[in-house]
Amino acid sequence: MYYLILYSEKFRVSPMQDLSALFEPYTFQSGVHVRNRLVLAPMTTWSSDPDDSVSRAELNYIARRSKGVGLALTAVTYVTPNGKGFHGQFGAERDDRLESLKALAQAVKSGGARAVLQMFHAGHQAPPELVDNDVASASDVPPPGSPLRSESPVSVRALSQEEIQDIVLDFGQTTRRAIEAGFDGVEIHGANGYLIQQFLSGHSNRRTDGWGGSLEKRLRFPLAVIAEVKRVVAAHAQGPFLVGYRFSPEEPHEQGLTMHDALSLVEALKDQDLDYVHVSLSEYAGQPRRGDDLKRSRLEQIAERLGTQTPLIAVGNVWSPEDAVQALQLGASFVALGRALLLDPEWVQKVEAGRSQDIQTTLSINDREALTLPEPLWKLLTNFMVKDRLTGATGPEPSPA
């Protein structure tokens, strides 16, 4: 047997640290109440059933990890058939998915967390074989680092204006299904290089019509999605229902998003009456690649620009309770836990009980059943474990949803 040490050097427990801020309850403007400031981050598990329904393994996985957090974000679902982004991804693109979605909402809520369905369109990140080789985006630009090149038989095409309007409506219809399935909210996934971000980015959006060009025009698609989702919530929700929005602040490639773009987006989001904004970061305290202020973290700058009216969820390399507290101190209202909860599903309960020293910090090759991990996700983790043993690489990085 061997172990993969994921964060033993980073993990720290300070018996004098005040952790009470992590367990303060909160009521969002929509009226949804949560018991603490800890969030289950969305993570792709590649584990749906062959018909793209939520599998029993996924239900067990998320139910266990929802028992301590206040808010649980599902892995991302796709809103329209040509928006599927992963093998083993569950769908919410049509009404016959309702029973599957109901089971997912019930699994999350069974432990007391509020259930939020994350939704997206993959755009040019869709694997061609999952979308009948019809890969579409804001423009005919392949993703950076993608095998989709000009010499490839598969290309990316630009969406028509009619298709864009249809996708906006698809986000609304998936929101309606989330309401009918019993979810407490939806999160619009505008991060991690998927379609909404592709419209926002000057790298991937080369359009010259009303959906592209200036930053103001590139903002039109995400704002249209938000407006449609809110319209559907107003029309169909019988009680409090959350609407959140996730975004990535920067892109590393030429003409990609900068902190200037991100802060402009934040300014626009402030006016949308969202329940929260969720910033997708690889490192919660990381500094910008480029921008006016390279010395302060992205999180600090975003929190400052967002202000206190709209809550901010932060994520990214949060392992210990001290990390989570620091993220709050940098301006976050909530802290999302990804790999920390993957590795120790009882992380929140242990911290709340004053047992931070008992949090699991290693992963054994024999831990799958003990950690309630679906087989496809486990295969990914063990592949990384073998790589770590052979090459000294660092720990696994499950895909964020």
Q: Active-site residues: which are they?
A: 194
At 394, the amino acid letter reads T
